Amino acid sequence: MIKLPPLSLYIHIPWCIKKCYYCDFHSYTLKNELPEQKYITHLLNDLQNDIKLISDRKVNSIFIGGGTPSLFNEKTIQYLLYGINERLLLASNAEITIETNPSMVEINRFSKYKQVGINRISIGVQSFNTNKLIKLGRMHSSKESIHALSLVAGLNLHSFNIDLMHGLPNQSLNQAMFDLKKAINLLPPHISWYQLTIEPNTKFGYHKPILPNDKILWQIFSKGNKILRKSGYQQYEISSYAKSGHQSKHNLNYWRFGDYIGIGCGAHGKISFNNGRILRTIKTKHPYKYMNGNYIHQQKEVNQLDRPFEFFMNRFRLLEEIPKQDFINYTGLIENTIRNQLDNAIDQGYITETKLNWQITNKGTLFLNFLLMLFL
């Protein structure tokens, strides 16, 4: 049997003005007019179909991601949120996030998003060095980011986030620290500070830029981590730092092996059932096919053998203690099924154990792939 975990809703909007050189997210360069209204109608139909999987469960967070969702104007977002409210039971304190880029058109929508029910804005800043932004293929300038952040800070939203990268092409320790300090000075309650990785099938994948060497990368991480902590941010996940009370509810639910409905092109979902089933869903990727009403690409049961790996792959990203009861509740398995793997992980210094909890160690975080392999 499974105890049902908290439930979230992810909405994917797959268009961007232009593809950034490092990006392997599921997004398309916008070639024609944005089909805002048509796409929202299909999102709501897609949601309607998924409702039968969750009966009357309450949704605790909504994340509108992409792509660039802020290409959609506030009226469309309002229509979407209204349609969701009509179909779902939404917690009164639900966190509702939209991802945005800091270009002028999108910045002007921020206060209107708040008026229609968005209470958290995530801004893709990536760097405050305009030359570096150009090298990444970003469409905005440092000046626009600063303007966007001062504007969002004045909106009195529940929270907001800055996405900031480090380890950029030819980036020095000083340049990385300049970016980080600049971000901190703008007082965001949440910073996602993550290292650039080169992914296949991206422009950088085909034409590799010169990245800082391992020594500089390590200096950037360790110095940046100290600065963030000293500035009152708690690192709660590998790349996520938050002021007290500002951790992302939505992301925490993913990493705690919670459930989520995923609607929109290529969106992933995970739904648990009282009878012990866990279902993973993937929606149709291509907008043309999706907007013809073919929403489901794949639905797959998670079998019992795969559950420990799936559970820990998410949970070990978080630096918090892992209640053993969560493993039992959300996988439907007993601790003994993974006793050998746990003993091995403890022997190698990757985790520690008490009667009620497991805790990943610094070594476990550094050698996360080795740790996870034990549960494969």
- Closest contact distance (angstroms) between CB of 204 and ligand SF4 is 12
Q: Rule CB under 6 A: which of 60-79 touch ligand SF4?
A: 66-68
- Closest contact distance (angstroms) between CB of 99 and ligand SF4 is 8
Between 138 and 250, name the residue whose CB sits nearer to ligand SF4.
Answer: 138
**CB-neighbour burial class of residue 245 (10 A; exposed 0-12, middle 13-18, buried 19+):** exposed
Angle at 221 between CA 175 and CA 161, to 5 degrees: 80
- Closest contact distance (angstroms) between CB of 22 and ligand SF4 is 7
Q: Scan for tokens 């009282």, then name that residue.
A: 274
- Closest contact distance (angstroms) between CB of 133 and ligand SF4 is 11
Between 204 and 375, name the residue whose CB sits nearer to ligand SF4.
Answer: 204
Q: Rule CB under 6 A: which of 74-133 touch ligand SF4?
A: 101, 124
- Binding-residue pattern over the window 11 to 50 for ligand SF4, x denoting contact by CB under 6 A: -----x--xx--x-x-x-----------------------
Between 68 and 272, name the residue whose CB sits nearer to ligand SF4.
Answer: 68
Between 131 and 362, name the residue whose CB sits nearer to ligand SF4.
Answer: 131
173 and 216 Cβ atoms separated by less than 8 Å: yes
Between 200 and 245, name the residue whose CB sits nearer to ligand SF4.
Answer: 200
- Separation between Cα atoms, residue 140 and residue 143, nearest integer Å: 8
Residues that bind ligand SF4 (CB under 6 A): 16, 19-20, 23, 25, 27, 66-68, 101, 124
